[in-house]
Copies of this chain bind each other. A is one copy, B any other.
Amino acid sequence: MKRSERVIRILKTLTDNPAKRYPLGHFAASLGAAKSTISEDVSLIKQTLAQMGRGTVDTVLGVAGGVRYLPGSDCARAETLIDQLCDALSKPDRILPGGFLYIADIVFSPVWASVIGELFAERFRASEAEYVLTVETKGIPIALCTAQSLGVPLVVSRRDARPTEGPSVSINFVSGSSGQIQTMSLPKRALRPSSKVLIVDDFMKGGGTAKGMTELASEFGAHPIGIAILIEMAQPERKLVSDYMSLAVLKSVDAHSRTVDVRPSKRMLL
């Protein structure tokens, strides 16, 4: 088998299973090549992905070692993507009655969800989250893609406990935007105690929902290691959580002048 065919097989296998580690011997056996040859193939893949700014291949030597693909973007690409996101969000036809901004097409877009998931995953990769946690509904696609890029399960809390999900833990929280008391529930078996959890949501106004999710995780004895938000509102400046990252800041929606002001967030920490 030629190198060009081997790299196709290795790259496809690795990128289909982000963050999953494959021993070099796995490819050596299935492709009928020496480990040293596979190692050279992997180096070429790693080098080429780096030049494309499209993630990396991480190699660990030794018995428990192997190679894995870690999705990502270089800084230039990440900045471009976030600028494009802010442009897309700033379109005046997104303005809804009541000064709301229509974002459903973006948060449910497979293309955007996958880009955003990669950006979140890369930012929090080092924290070694064991779960991604979100609350239904609009945060689910970006949370799913973040979990996929990290190679961990997604856990979705619901607005109410369901008989179809079994014994659940529910908490009440004060929504930062409406000021009302709301409930979120998570099946008891969904989160392992003491596990590390990354919290993801599409939108933050006051931070009540994000705070609720950290409290819910704590009820399971789990440890929130970070909060990743797609769009935060500039006001109120003081949120109910302090330690979070966001990609974009919504400064204002002016229905009268038909303008939306969305900018890249300073809390990107890329």
A44 touches B5 (CB 8 A): yes
Query: With A and B bound together, what is the CA distance between A256 and B111 in angstroms?
Result: 46
Q: Which of B52, B145, B154, B158 contacts A12 (CB 8 A)?
A: B52
Query: With A and B bound together, what is the CA distance between A140 and B147 in angstroms?
Result: 14
The 8 A CB mask of A58-93 against B (1 = contact, 0 = none) is: 000000000000000000000000000000000000
| Chain B nearest Cβ from A44, distance in angstroms | 6
Query: With A and B bound together, what is the CA distance between A105 and B14 in angstroms?
Result: 23
Known contacts A4-B44, A11-B12, A153-B108; is-contact A100 B147 (Cβ 8 Å): no
Query: With A and B bound together, what is the CA distance between A98 and B93 in angstroms?
Result: 47
Q: Which of B16, B45, B108 contacts A144 (CB 8 A)?
A: B108
| Chain B nearest Cβ from A163, distance in angstroms | 5
| Chain B nearest Cβ from A122, distance in angstroms | 15
Known contacts A100-B163, A136-B136, A166-B102; is-contact A154 B8 (Cβ 8 Å): no
Q: Which of B109, B136, B144, B190 contacts A110 (CB 8 A)?
A: B144
Size bin of chain A's contact surface? 35 or more
Asked if A96 is an interface residue, CB under 8 A from chain B, the answer is yes
The 8 A CB mask of A9-40 against B (1 = contact, 0 = none) is: 10110011100000000000000000000000
Instruction: Name the B residues within 8 Å of A52 (CB-CB).
Output: 9, 12
Asked if A165 is an interface residue, CB under 8 A from chain B, the answer is yes
Please name 4 further chain A to chain B contacts, defined as beta carbons within 8 Å, in addition to the given A8-B44, A12-B54, sorted by A numbering.
A8-B8, A96-B165, A108-B156, A137-B140
- State the 8 A-B residue pairs at the shortest beta-carbon distance, nearest first: A110-B148, A96-B166, A4-B4, A8-B48, A136-B137, A108-B154, A3-B4, A100-B164
Binding site for B on A (CB under 8 A): 2-5, 7-9, 11-12, 15-17, 41, 44-45, 48-49, 52, 54, 96-98, 100-102, 104-105, 108-111, 113-114, 136-137, 140-141, 144-145, 147-148, 153-156, 158, 163-167, 187, 189-190
Question: Could you write out 11 A-B pairs with CB less than 8 Å apart?
Answer: A3-B4, A4-B7, A5-B48, A7-B8, A8-B8, A8-B44, A16-B54, A17-B111, A102-B165, A104-B156, A111-B148
